[in-house]
Structure 1
Amino acid sequence: MTSSTSAPSPADEDHRLIKGLVVRTLLLDVLERDIHTLDTLLLKMPEVYILSLTRIQNNVLKEMLALRKQMRTRGVKVLEEKREAEGIETLYMCRGYWQRFYMLWTFARNEVKKELSRHLEMDLAQT
């Protein structure tokens, strides 16, 4: 019986969890910026829009808690997140082995847009 010296590759589920966490982190940043922007505009009823975005923030936070619970169960832990000019790099530990997840900004933007449209119950294909 021979033993392998290479690290086991993470399962698709591990990548899905990391991607979901990164996208939701970015979505929270977008929502926070948009809430701040709405608060500075001279709208007739900004509180309605702000409340709607705050509700989405709360739902995203709940989803992130569920993702982190699944990650703990699978032995996955985010160690570092680096935002660079080309994209975002996430270093994480997967069952004792260092792993790297990289997402280009163009892809990240599309994923955040999809996630936000899901929360707003909008179909982007109809626009």
Structure 2
Amino acid sequence: MSSTPQFDYDDFCSRMGGNQALMGVVAKEFIRESAEIIALLDIAVEQLDYAEIKRLAHRLKGASAEVSATTLHQASQMLGSAAEAKDNQEIKARLGVILASHNVVGKDIKQVLAL
């Protein structure tokens, strides 16, 4: 298996102890949960609910770290910081990166793990 720029397969495999079945379960849960978080993030950003943006960014950061989605993890961390600073321009920029990265990482995970 190989890693992609958005998804570090080797790191994910190491985190899961090489257990392919566990990797599949965790990856499927990530795909479901992250889509839910992003839908809620869209609403929170529209409403300028900084506390909710920060909370959701933290959840997405943790979920993306669990599956070694490096770009998504970094963008989520930066979104949380932007929400704390109430920087609307940066919030919108980070959300754009998150949306693009999420689309790519979901495809990468499905392809690499044959989900």
TM-score where L is the length of structure 1: 0.39
- Counting helix residues as a fraction of each chain, which structure ranks higher? 2
TM-score where L is the length of structure 2: 0.43
Between structure 1 and structure 2, the one with the greater Rg is 1
